[in-house]
Amino acid sequence: MGLIADFKQFMNKGNVINLAVAVALGAAFGDLVKAFVNGLVMPLVSYVLPARMAWEEWTLGKLRIGLVLGAATHFVIISTVVFVLCVKLLGTLLEEEAEALIEAPTKLCPRCLEPVRLAATRCKHCTSEF
């Protein structure tokens, strides 16, 4: 195969396209969270700071505490959303799917001894017919 054909085959794999979409959505989500934190959360923090000081100007000597606080807030919000969506929500959906597969009545394939659904006429593992 030529270089172009190999590249075409590589790009047609689902993982490459899924990864590209995930990176684009992740960047857009990061921008959304940044706008939320900078526009809503950190101005609320400014109310507890000394009078007429923006949160970006909050310093401790030469240390820029306000910028670190903003970045930490971004990180906490993004990691919380990722945890809830990926770990909890997808984990629950995958558990339900796995339970549905486990609850389905099965038999063992006489050739490879893998579990196969009772209604199957061919083993999905070794493709032997029943």
DSSP the chain: --HHHHHHHHHHSHHHHHHHHHHHHHHHHHHHHHHHIIIIIHHHHHTTSSTT--GGG--BTTB-HHHHHHHHHHHHHHHHHHIIIIIIIHHHHHHHHHHHHHHS-EEE-TTT--EEETT-SB-TTT--B-
Is 127 a domain residue?
Answer: no
Total structural domains within the chain: 1
The percentage of the chain sitting over the pLDDT mark of 90, rounded to a whole number, equals 1
In a domain, 121, yes or no: no
Considering the domain boundaries, does residue 128 fall inside one?
Answer: no
Domain CATH number, residue 51: 1.10.1200.120
Q: Is residue 115 part of a domain?
A: no
Query: Is position 126 within any domain?
Result: no
Q: What is the pLDDT of residues 63-114, one digit of tens each?
A: 998 888 888 888 888 888 878 877 787 778 777 777 666 667 888 888 888 8
